[in-house]
Amino acid sequence: MRRRGNAILEFALSFALLFAVFAGVFQFGHSFFFYNNLQS
């Protein structure tokens, strides 16, 4: 049971980290896209 709990905890932490990274990349791309549209 303890090993399964560790796996779930590890998955939750890594998923949160990956989600934060992808959200940041998406936000940066979105901002860059709008900046380019406003410039031209």
Residues 1-40 pLDDT 10s: 778 889 999 999 999 999 999 999 999 999 999 999 998 7
CA angle 37, 18, 12 (to 5 degrees): 145
pTM greater than 0.85 (yes/no)? no
Per-residue pLDDT at 5 = 84
**Residue written as tokens 């990274």?**
21
Q: Return d(Cα 17, Cα 39) in angstroms, integer.
A: 33
The encoded tokens of residue 20 equal 């934060």
